Structure 1
């Protein structure tokens, strides 16, 4: 009986570990430790490339990268709905999408962070500040977002004008799953709920269970149909 209990406990631990790993950033394209993708950026740490526990660039989410708010990003604007819907004219320093573009602009070095940390000998780590995102690491969007899905617009405002867009509450219910909750629509404070659609509305940066870090599977256009009524 004791052996059976021990076996069941071991199986439970393995199952729990498997569940945890499925939602982990480790080994994904967002893991730059140990030279993921053939590049050694200088640190064996994982979180440091985006986060720091002390003196962050921005308190939420303990951001360790200096957002390039001086870059001018050109937004998608060919939709008739977006012509009248409430939208941002550009990214401000608190935009959650700007956090993404801090790497995906293809111009900002992946190792360009505020606090590089120290190694096991308490020496400040020297980061590689020359490597930018390329096709071998992920998608380069550049500052021209006119051919990408729109971000930085008020989804509730757009849905009120377009009958082919699902209500905001409906979208949230579809995109919040058992293991992926959190904010779907944002305000300008990056991590607080609001009405703005941003990159993180469709992507979950710490979990690549569904390729391209999608919040839910897009088999049969499932992710698209969370918003678009077709």
Structure 2
């Protein structure tokens, strides 16, 4: 009986000590331990004081956005490499006058890690050692993949930096855009979140319109629990896509 008690106590202690390492891996559990905790990224240099927020934010001496845009106390090098870009275009979306800046708002912050050039573990003036996230292809997390000449190719990526409301009003796809007041479908962790809530200034599509970088309000990927894409709606039944696009979901379809 004593041996059994010892075994049970050992198992309990092992569970309790192992639990912190799992923090943040599941959607809605926070940034610590998630894929946006740079201390957990293979090949990255850990913060010397074990900080997590410091890879992106600082309470003092924040870096100014080179465009003059206000940003949230940023401590990470901005993507200064992208000055020319090839935008996405399709038969139902040309952008045209709707294009403002594909890196507008939080997208510029995302690209400071995902441009393939700035080290993801660079922060607080420290250079960082981890550059590139697997390339701009299947399985890779470099987006646009900028080069030293300032060129980036967003032609194979979902468009950002445009007015969602203008695109919805002037939809040449004849009703493929939902109104921005629609709630994300099959919400988990985010109650009544609408598309408008996550548009920059209630209008501009950015990376943060789909992705919750802090792993707080993003949805559970119920069809594949091990895959966390930091998105606001599940992957099953394409709930994320069908939140904005009226294609066969039976909601507000024209």
Q: TM-score, normalised by structure 1?
A: 0.71
Asked if 2 retains the 8 angstrom alpha-carbon contact of 1:30 and 1:206, the reply is yes
Matching of residue 201 in structure 1 with residue 201 in structure 2: no
Poorly superposed stretches of 4+, deviation over 4 Å: 18-21, 175-178
Q: 1:82 to 1:47 in 2, by over 3 A?
A: same
1:175 Cα offset (Å)? 6.6
Q: 1:22 to 1:138 in 2, by over 3 A?
A: farther
Asked if 2 retains the 8 angstrom alpha-carbon contact of 1:86 and 1:158, the reply is yes
1:81 Cα offset (Å)? 3.1
2:162 equivalent among 148, 153, 157: 153
1:37 Cα offset (Å)? 2.3
Matching of residue 66 in structure 1 with residue 77 in structure 2: yes
Q: Provide the rounded CA distance (Å) in 2 between the counterparts of 1:42 and 1:23.
A: 21
Determine which structure has the larger helix proportion and give its number: 1
1:77 equivalent among 79, 82, 89: 89
Q: Deviations over 1:35-81 (max 9, x none)?
A: 53243244321111101111212564121123224522332123443
Q: Which range is displaced more, 211-220 or 69-78? A: 69-78
Q: Provide the rounded CA distance (Å) in 1 between the counterparts of 2:82 and 2:96.
A: 25
Secondary structure, aligned partner of 2:98: coil
Q: Provide the rounded CA distance (Å) in 2 between the counterparts of 1:111 and 1:38.
A: 9
Could you tell me which residue of structure 2 aligns to residue 121 of structure 1?
none
Q: Deviations over 1:122-164 (max 9, x none)?
A: xxxxx45232132299611113211010000100000112211
Map residues 1-230 of structure 1 onto 2, 5 A cutoff.
22-33=28-39, 35-43=40-48, 44-58=50-64, 60-72=71-83, 73-84=85-96, 86-91=98-103, 95-113=105-123, 115=124, 127-135=126-134, 139-141=141-143, 142=145, 143-162=152-171, 163-170=175-182, 173-174=183-184, 179-180=189-190, 183-186=197-200, 193-207=201-215, 209-210=220-221, 211-230=228-247
Q: Provide the rounded CA distance (Å) in 1 between the counterparts of 2:90 and 2:207.
A: 18
1:200 Cα offset (Å)? 0.4
Q: Provide the rounded CA distance (Å) in 2 between the counterparts of 1:195 and 1:30.
A: 26
1:176 Cα offset (Å)? 10
Q: Provide the rounded CA distance (Å) in 2 between the counterparts of 1:131 and 1:86.
A: 35
Q: Provide the rounded CA distance (Å) in 2 between the counterparts of 1:176 and 1:99.
A: 28
Secondary structure, aligned partner of 1:223: helix
Q: Provide the rounded CA distance (Å) in 2 between the counterparts of 1:84 and 1:221.
A: 28
1:213 Cα offset (Å)? 0.8
1:22 Cα offset (Å)? 3.6
Asked if 1 retains the 8 angstrom alpha-carbon contact of 2:163 and 2:203, the reply is yes
Q: TM-score, normalised by structure 2?
A: 0.65
